[in-house]
Structure 1
Amino acid sequence: MKHHHWPLYGLRVRTPRLELRLPDLELLDELASVAADGVHAPDTMPFTVPWSDGPPAERGRAVFRHVLSTIANWADDDWALSLAVLHEGRVVGRQDVMARHFAVTGVVETGSWLGLAHQGRGIGTEMRAAALHLAFAGLGARTAVSAAMTDNPRSLGVSRRLGYLPDGLETAALRGAPVTLQRLRLERARWEEHRTARVTLEGLDECRAEFGG
């Protein structure tokens, strides 16, 4: 199917186990249901924007509306690509790649979440590796950055396995209280040294201009 007016719907990022794609309405509904079922233990909050605090129906609606907003607000110098992650044909989580003034800076930021039922199986590492391949090999990024709370060992472990290096600490506000974030940075040369996942891209040429690169 040709996506003449929004070619990003034709983009596919594939690893041996996963497919990442911009969700159509049917897949977006599945993604919202995964969020509604839970993405972290109720006594933790890994996000500085606590969108997952609410009851299941609110979590699902928040994800549904947010992904639609990334499409509506897309600009080639300020974009957020929110990809549904599919494992064995089922949506299991979401992987974001974001940038501002990418043509100038060459810097992307990543963020993600994975449904509770799908955690602990290496999927989080594989989907981030897919996003990094899209950024570095596909779009020609120079740097990828991320951040995680210092008490979030799973996220920090994913970054460490993929070659990120610590890039200082910062303080953020969460529910009216301060929390400490570990900033992380991955330069292109170090990504080349640590890349192990086999990743293929499909449909990028048709939507390359949307990224402002």
Structure 2
Amino acid sequence: MSLVSHWPLAGLRLTTPRLELRLPDLDQLVALASLAADGVHDPAVQPFTVAWTDAAPEHRAQSVLQYHWRCWGAWKPEDWELNLVVLRDGVVVGTQGIGARDFGIRREVGTGSWLGRAYHGHGLGTEMRAAVLHLAFAGLGAQQAVSGAYIDNSASLGVSRKLGYRDDGIERHAVRSKPAVLQRLRLAAEQWQGGQRVPVAIEGLRECLPWFGLGEEADIQGRH
């Protein structure tokens, strides 16, 4: 028996013109942890509400490993977090997450991501977000996708707006013991369908549908 027989998510693949997104194997997870240790953003700013990147490099790496293992172990069809490693030419460049609660009923997903600092500024953030949006809308039949970024995070906000998200209110948080304003964003299926999209291919989804809270017989366009 293969791993995919017991854990179908291991066979899920998303491919774009430049990237492959998949559940990481152990070596890829170690590479991702090392990437986090090398740095994810300018230390002068903090784009995350949970300031995990303020830790020492070895602790950043450990937190990446533990977070992925925790999400794997806690997976339920009614409460899941899929964290995919992002590869360019076989090299780990970052991670793209997508998650939901009661997806079979609510049909809403949230996303989050980061890239190693060496890979910023090349449009990869847009391409990897577009990949999981294709999974959500075309693959799983989502109706809504939500995201958020602090108002000084122009790169993340730019990705969202490029992909058609609309403002959905604000939240006030405390980051590094200072007030910070987070801009919420929302993308409806109709907006996604009418926008310009990155070509995305999905492999291995059918066997995973029950893991996302959907029946294998679900009539969803875009499945492969």
Measured against the shorter chain, the TM-score band is over 0.9
Task: Give the drift of 1:112.
Answer: 0.3
Q: Which runs of 4+ in 1 moved over 3 A?
A: none
Are 2:192 and 1:198 equivalent residues in the alignment? no
User: How far does the alpha carbon of each residue in 1:6-27 deviate from its partner, in whole angstroms, 9 at most, with x for none?
Assistant: 1101000000100000101111
Distance, in Å, in 2 between the alignment partners of 1:64 and 1:4 is 23
State the match for 1:182 in structure 2.
Answer: 183
Distance, in Å, in 1 between the alignment partners of 2:27 and 2:140 is 28
Structure 1 window deviating more from structure 2 (170-179 vs 107-116): it is 170-179
Is there any run of 5+ residues in structure 2 with no aligned partner, and where? 215-224
- Letter of the 1:114 partner, please give it: L
Are 2:6 and 1:5 equivalent residues in the alignment? yes
State the match for 2:64 in structure 1.
Answer: 63
Identity %: 54
State the match for 1:138 in structure 2.
Answer: 139
Distance, in Å, in 2 between the alignment partners of 1:161 and 1:151 is 17
User: How far does the alpha carbon of each residue in 1:152-205 deviate from its partner, in whole angstroms, 9 at most, with x for none?
Assistant: 000000000000000011112223332110000000010011132100000001
Distance, in Å, in 1 between the alignment partners of 2:75 and 2:209 is 13
Distance, in Å, in 1 between the alignment partners of 2:110 and 2:202 is 19
- Letter of the 1:117 partner, please give it: A
> Where do residues 70-89 of structure 1 align in structure 2 (5 Å cutoff)?
70-89=71-90
State the match for 2:38 in structure 1.
Answer: 37
Q: Once superposed, what is the RMSD of the aligned Cα atoms?
A: 0.9
User: How far does the alpha carbon of each residue in 1:76-99 deviate from its partner, in whole angstroms, 9 at most, with x for none?
Assistant: 111000000001110000000010
Task: Give the drift of 1:2.
Answer: 5.4
Aligned length: 213
SS in 1 for 2:97: strand
State the match for 1:48 in structure 2.
Answer: 49
SS in 2 for 1:65: helix
State the match for 1:114 in structure 2.
Answer: 115
SS in 1 for 2:168: strand
Is there any run of 5+ residues in structure 1 with no aligned partner, and where? none
Are 2:213 and 1:212 equivalent residues in the alignment? yes
Contact conserved, 1:8 with 1:207, CA < 8 A, in 2?
yes
Are 2:17 and 1:19 equivalent residues in the alignment? no
SS in 1 for 2:5: coil
Distance, in Å, in 2 between the alignment partners of 1:90 and 1:63 is 17
User: How far does the alpha carbon of each residue in 1:30-59 deviate from its partner, in whole angstroms, 9 at most, with x for none?
Assistant: 111111110100101000000111111111
- TM-score normalized with structure 1 length: 0.98
